[in-house]
Structures are given as structure tokens and as C-alpha cells.
């Protein structure tokens, strides 16, 4: 059977399987299935149930909303989840025997997260509270108000995806009695809390909070162990960096959590920590592994992938994800510090849960040509059985290209890793254009995972080269840190060396038809490349940085990101300008298409406007497309119609010039 080529619209045929959650009886589980709803131009995520003995699948919810965070009560009779059924994420309870879900919260800003109390009669939750108010206060009636000024008095006042942050509003922890629906607020004050974990005996809680008055130059969220009855607090960790994902061991004597200190700012590897409640001793179990704990993959197909940071088994083994050499693998650690991979290579484990006995795990798995399904895996043997096959017919119908892993010498003779895809329908002896894709971050990574955009370019007759240059995660601490202070240096050399390497080894590539594209840091690097080399015949820059001087003041992270990454602030404008692609605009001869979201607060659209007007004024070949009602995450979670339009712009530009 001749397979058809992948299309832009096929994005709507991809089914995302995420958040596998085992029931307490270990005989059944639930997961979330997400699809694009073209009719409403939205995503719909519904709850599915699987019987692990019969493998029977049952869809439990059928709405157009997005459901997330499914969690069983300890006795397995109830399932709680968050749903956008009424716009904001609210908490719902569903009997596992069937029936309609019951809504148990109605907060103006919704509920951020929740945890069951072990008794099954209460649920702890996290939600926003206005200053001077309480969870129990009646919500104010919504009245049409005249526009009011927004008084800015701190530097962290806006956030990509959220816009201007609500003033005088704080995140607090509350508890709701499911029988009486009575709510009690547990935390107080003008602070932002995060609910982390509840002990199995229901007596202890872990939350994170930073109680400093001015947090503009503070990058920490300390972890505290709290006695629920007395509210007495004990510090678990209080230092610069980010720590969370806490889980109690089954006997409540230890905590596991993940975190990274500030040694290399946001390039620091995340580690797995264990804290002994009795002695207060803290150890890093992953100290001997030179790779980061967690999932750092950039892709565009897994919607709502939200894996636990750690999962304990009853025999005190701890499971976690590790990003290494383009894989995300499930690893297991013992308290003695032994470390083993529980899954194989060449794949992306983007969700998991582990049986209490440690005998088996549920894993959601993707690779370069498989979109992602749910499997049950026997830990001892590695044997797997598929529980879902939502994408199977699509994968049989469409020609998908298997990338070839490559390794080459980059700057300073460091080994650099990546992949090369031949065009779909490749014919020996023919010449093909090549497009270089550059990921964002820069502390993220391309991986052995399904990426619709890369497959689309291959389907349109292009070879595709994508690598993890220095600065990427999944490799050593030295490697991920090497980009800081050197943007446009060794990273640029790595990418150009990759092009030289594949040209030398693959005579099917037409060296006169090379294209380059990337977003965020990848957009910065696209801008940098065309300002320093004329070997590319077409380029598309997306959500990019063009001017570090203005980025400092307009980005939601600029005032500290510049210093962390470029090594300069406004006292060293010359260094910021030297690393700015805009400085080299006069050298750009490559036709450059500029794509940018209007609500991007991470790399604000003025970065694109400056570049476009400068190039136009210099009579350069350029185009500019603005995406309304879209933020920095347009390519991953933006409105479906805008995602299609973005891909049309990219492929249209390359078709015109390559």
C-alpha cells in the first residue's frame, strides 16, 4: 500500500495520551486523551479508564472542556480532577462506579492544584485569594468596570501566557470537606504558596513559599514540612534555586523531591533529593549522573503531558525521568544511591505511574515515528503491552521518516549529537534541499520523540537537520553551561559544523538550497546565522530575540535573563549590543521571514518589529507575520487555526526561496 504524505491539517488527527494514573487496587487506571476540535478551534481533553486485566478501554467524560490532574481517593471509590467545563479550572469529583461528576469549587480564578486527604473525605487545594479576603468570603459580583490604571511597583509584574499579573492576589492552600462542602483556609498572609504533598497518615504537609517582601532579585521557593494540627513548620530546603515535586515514602519517614540550585543559574542540572524526616539529613541521589532529572524535550504533539517528578514504591525505590542523549528514560534509584534505567533508548517517556509493588509501570511513550500511546511495562523484564492504539491507523496511513542519529565534532572538538531526516519519498541519486531546525531554550533538547513540524518538512521534500548544540540539556553540566556568555560563539560553530558534516557525508543534499529556522533561542540563532553567513538561501525566524539591549526591559524575564545568559546588564550595553543580531542586520542577504505572536511577553513582538523595519529600511528581502491572541507557546498550544497558519507561512516561504 502506498502511503500518503503528511499534511499541515494532520495536526488535528494526532491524539495525545497523557497523565496515566493507577487506581489504589492496581487493577485499573485512568488517563487523559487530548484532541484538536477544529469546529470550535480548541483542544478537548477527556478522561478514559482502562481495566488492566481485560485491557478494556472506557471513555468516562465526553465534554468539550479540558480535563487534567486525575487522582483517586485512597479507597478508590472516587476520582477527583480539574476541568475547564465552566471556563476556569475547577475541582470535580466523580464516583468510580459511574454517574455525573460533581463540581466542588467555584473560585473566580479557578483551582491550581489539589491533593486528596488520606481519609477520602477531604481535599486539599491551591487557589487565588485577594488580599484581605478569605476562601469563605462571598465572591464579588461581576460588574462592568471602567478601565483602571495598573500601578507597577515591582519588576516581576508580567508573565508570558498570563499577561499583567493580578495585583493584591495570592495563592493559598485550603481544605474542603466533601460531605458538608465547608472550606477552611490553611495558609494566610500576602504570600504565594504551592501545595506539594500530604503524608500517608494525613498528619504532615509539605508546601513551598517565599515570604520575602521584595522578590525581584530572589529566585527561590523554599520547601517546608508542616504539622497539619499545630501548623508548626520545619525547613526542608531554603536556598537559591527551584525545588518541588515532593512525595512522601509509604512509611512517611522520608521525602523525595527534585530541584536545582543556582550554581549555573537556569542551566543547572536538576537532581533527585531525599530528605530524612527524623534526622533532617538531606542527600542528592543523582550526584553521580552528569545528566538532568526531568523532561526537557521540545516538540509539538504531546498536549497536557504532566509527569510526576518522583514516584515511590513500597520497598523504597524511587522512580523519575532522566533526559540523556536525546532520550527521556524512566530511571529507578535506591536509597543507597544505586541507579538503573527502567526503560530503553531511542524514545521519550513523557508520562508514567508505578505500581506500589514496583512490579510494573504505566508509561506513555513516543519516538520519532510514533506519536505516543499508553503501555503497561513489566519492570523486571522490560516487556510491554500496548493499552491504547489511538494513533495506529494514522501511522499506517502516512509516510513517516525515521531520522538517522549523527555525531560530529563541534567547537573545541567537542562531540555534538543530532539527527538527519531524508525527505519522504527519497529517491537515490536525486538532490534535495536541506532545512536546519534550531530549538529554543537554549536549555532544552531535540529528542527521539514525534515532532509533526519536522515530519511535515520532510513530507514537503526537504531533508531536515536538527541537533543539540552546546547549551542543550541531556548532556553534561559543562555542555549545557557552555552557551552562557557565548551566544553566537561555540553554539553557532556547532550548528555550522553540523551542516559541514552532513554535506560531507550525504551527496543527496543540494548545498545551494539550504534553509534555516528556529523559535525563541532558535529564532535568535536564526537571526545570528543570517547576519554572519550567506550560505542559507532562505530563513524563517520565530518568536525571536534581535536586540538584547531592549530585551532587558521588555521581556518578562529580561532583567535577569540577560545577566544569566549574556553575562551583562545595562551597565555593559556594548556587550549586549555585540551579541544582538540587529547589530549585524546590514550583512543579512538571506530572504528572512519573521513570525511573532502579539501577546508574547517572553520575547515581545517589538523584537520582531525592530528587525523587520531595519531590514525593510535597508531594502532587504523580508516578510513579517503577526499572530493575534497568541503567546510564546503558539507552536505548541496556540489556537489550532493559528498553528496551521504558522506552518503554512513557514512552508510557503521555503517553497518560494528553496
- Which residues are known to be catalytic? 520, 632
**Rounded-to-integer distance, Cα 388 and Cα 20, Å:** 12
CB atoms within 10 A of CB 248: 22
CB atoms within 10 A of CB 541: 31
Residue 51 belongs to what H/E stretch?
Answer: strand 42-51
List of E strands, 368-508: 370-378, 384-386, 404-409, 415-421, 432-438, 463-468
Question: Across-strand partners of 434?
Answer: 463, 514
76 contacts 23 by C-beta, under 8 angstroms: yes
Question: Across-strand partners of 519?
Answer: 542
**Rounded-to-integer distance, Cα 400 and Cα 444, Å:** 24
250 contacts 271 by C-beta, under 8 angstroms: no
Reduced to 3 states, what is the DSSP secondary structure of residue 523? helix
For 41, counting Cβ atoms within 10 Å of its Cβ (0-12 exposed, 13-18 middle, 19+ buried), the class is: exposed
Residue 636 belongs to what H/E stretch?
Answer: helix 634-637
For 121, counting Cβ atoms within 10 Å of its Cβ (0-12 exposed, 13-18 middle, 19+ buried), the class is: middle
H-only helix segments in 398-546: 452-459, 477-481, 490-505, 521-532
Question: Across-strand partners of 241?
Answer: 220, 261
Give me the helix-helix angle, 452-459 and 640-657, nearest 10°.
40
Give me the helix-helix angle, 521-532 and 490-505, nearest 10°.
70
SS3 content of the chain, % helix, strand, coil (to 5): 20, 35, 45
**Quick check: bond before 442 cis, omega within 30?**
yes
317 contacts 333 by C-beta, under 8 angstroms: yes
Q: Please report, for residues 129, 263, 362, the alpha-carbon distance to residue 31 in angstroms, rounded to integers and kept in the order given.
A: 30, 37, 10
Among left, alpha and beta (phi > 0; psi -120 to 50; other), residue 220 is: beta
Q: Please report, for residues 42, 225, 373, 395, 398, the alpha-carbon distance to residue 392 in angstroms, rounded to integers and kept in the order given.
A: 23, 46, 9, 5, 10
Q: H/E/C letters for each residue in 341-371? A: ECCCCCCEEEEEEECCCCCEEEEEEEECCEE
DSSP state of 644: H
Annotate 189-241 with DSSP letters as a single string.
Answer: SS--EEEEEE-TTSSEEEEEE---S--TT--B-EEEEEETTT--EEEEE-SSE
Give the list of residues 6+ apart from residue 451 with CB closer than 8 angstroms, or none: 299, 300, 301, 368
For 469, counting Cβ atoms within 10 Å of its Cβ (0-12 exposed, 13-18 middle, 19+ buried), the class is: buried
CB atoms within 10 A of CB 222: 18
> Of 359, 355, 356, 363, nearest to 385 (Cα)?
363
Amino acid at each position: 500500500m502506498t502511503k500518503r504524505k503528511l499534511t499541515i491539517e494532520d495536526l488535528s488527527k494526532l491524539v495525545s495520551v497523557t497523565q496515566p494514573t493507577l487506581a489504589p487496587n492496581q487493577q485499573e487506571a485512568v488517563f487523559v486523551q487530548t484532541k484538536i476540535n477544529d469546529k470550535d478551534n480548541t483542544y478537548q481533553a477527556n478522561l478514559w479508564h482502562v481495566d488492566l486485566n481485560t485491557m478494556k478501554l472506557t471513555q468516562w467524560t465526553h465534554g468539550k472542556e479540558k480535563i487534567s490532574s486525575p487522582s483517586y481517593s485512597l479507597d478508590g471509590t472516587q476520582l477527583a480532577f480539574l476541568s475547564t467545563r465552566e471556563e476556569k479550572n475547577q475541582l470535580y469529583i466523580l464516583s468510580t462506579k459511574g454517574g455525573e461528576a460533581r463540581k466542588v469549587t467555584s473560585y473566580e480564578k479557578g483551582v491550581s492544584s489539589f491533593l486528596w486527604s488520606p481519609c477520602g473525605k477531604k481535599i486539599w487545594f491551591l487557589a487565588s485569594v485577594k488580599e484581605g479576603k478569605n476562601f469563605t468570603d462571598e465572591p464579588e459580583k461581576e460588574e462592568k468596570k471602567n478601565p483602571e490604571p495598573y500601578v507597577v511597583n515591582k519588576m516581576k509584574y508580567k508573565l508570558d501566557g498570563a499577561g499583567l499579573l493580578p495585583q493584591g492576589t495570592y495563592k493559598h492552600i485550603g481544605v474542603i470537606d466533601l460531605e458538608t462542602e465547608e472550606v477552611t483556609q490553611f495558609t494566610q498572609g500576602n504570600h504565594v504558596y504551592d501545595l506539594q504533598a500530604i503524608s500517608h497518615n494525613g498528619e504532615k504537609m509539605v508546601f513551598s513559599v517565599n515570604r520575602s517582601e521584595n522578590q525581584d532579585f530572589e529566585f527561590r521557593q523554599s520547601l517546608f514540612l508542616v504539622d497539619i494540627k499545630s501548623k508548626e513548620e520545619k525547613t526542608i530546603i531554603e536556598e537559591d534555586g527551584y525545588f518541588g515535586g515532593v512525595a512522601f515514602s509509604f512509611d512517611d519517614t522520608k521525602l523525595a523531591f527534585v530541584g536545582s540550585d543556582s550554581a549555573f543559574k537556569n542551566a543547572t542540572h536538576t537532581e533527585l533529593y531525599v530528605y530524612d524526616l527524623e534526622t533532617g539529613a538531606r542527600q542528592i541521589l543523582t550526584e553521580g549522573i552528569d545528566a538532568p532529572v526531568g523532561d526537557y524535550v521540545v516538540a509539538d504533539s504531546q498536549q497536557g503531558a504532566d509527569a510526576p517528578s518522583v514516584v515511590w514504591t513500597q520497598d523504597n525505590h524511587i522512580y523519575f525521568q532522566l533526559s540523556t542523549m536525546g532520550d527521556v528514560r524512566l530511571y529507578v534509584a535506591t536509597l543507597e544511591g544505586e541507579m538503573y534505567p527502567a526503560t530503553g533508548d531511542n524514545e521519550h517517556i513523557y508520562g508514567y505511574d508505578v505500581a506500589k509493588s514496583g512490579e510494573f509501570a504505566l508509561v506513555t511513550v513516543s519516538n520519532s515515528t510514533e506519536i505516543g500511546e499508553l503501555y503497561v511495562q513489566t519492570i523486571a523484564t522490560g516487556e510491554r503491552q500496548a493499552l491504547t492504539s489511538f494513533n495506529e491507523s494514522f501511522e499506517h496511513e502516512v509516510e513517516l521518516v525515521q531520522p538517522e542519529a549523527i555525531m560530529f565534532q563541534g567547537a573545541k572538538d567537542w562531540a555534538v549529537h543530532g539527527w538527519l531526516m531524508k525527505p519522504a519519498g527519497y529517491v537515490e541519486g536525486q538532490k534535495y534541499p536541506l532545512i536546519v531546525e534550531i530549538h529554543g531554550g537554549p536549555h532544552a533538547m531535540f529528542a527521539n520523540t514525534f515532532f509533526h513540524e519536522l515530519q511535515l518538512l520532510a513530507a514537503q521534500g526537504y531533508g531536515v537537520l536538527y541537533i543539540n548544540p552546546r547549551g542543550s540539556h541531556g548532556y553534561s553540566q559543562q555542555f549545557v553551561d557552555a552557551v552562557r556568555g557565548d551566544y553566537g560563539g561555540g553554539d553557532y560553530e556547532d550548528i555550522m559544523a553540523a551542516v559541514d558534516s552532513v554535506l560531507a557525508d550525504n551527496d543527496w543534499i543540494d548545498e545551494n538550497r539550504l534553509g534555516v529556522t528556529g523559535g525563541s533561542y532558535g529564532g535568535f540563532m536564526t537571526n545570528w546565522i543570517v547576519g554572519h553567513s550567506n550560505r542559507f538561501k532562505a530563513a524563517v525566524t520565530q518568536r525571536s530575540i534581535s536586540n538584547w539591549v531592549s530585551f532587558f526591559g521588555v521581556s518578562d524575564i529580561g532583567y535577569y535573563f540577560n545577566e544569566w545568559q549574556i553575562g551583562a546588564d545595562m551597565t555593559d550595553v556594548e556587550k549586549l549590543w555585540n551579541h544582538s543580531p540587529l547589530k549585524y542586520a546590514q550583512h543579512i542577504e538571506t530572504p528572512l521571514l519573521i513570525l511573532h505572536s502579539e501577546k508574547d511577553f517572553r520575547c515581545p513582538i517589538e523584537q520582531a518589529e525592530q528587525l523587520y523595519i531595519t531590514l525593510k529600511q535597508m531594502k532587504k528581502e523580508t516578510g513579517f507575520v503577526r499572530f493575534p491572541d497568541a503567546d510564546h507557546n503558539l507552536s505548541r498550544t496556540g489556537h489550532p487555526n493559528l498553528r496551521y497558519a504558522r506552518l503554512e507561512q513557514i512552508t510557503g516561504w521555503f517553497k518560494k526561496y528553496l
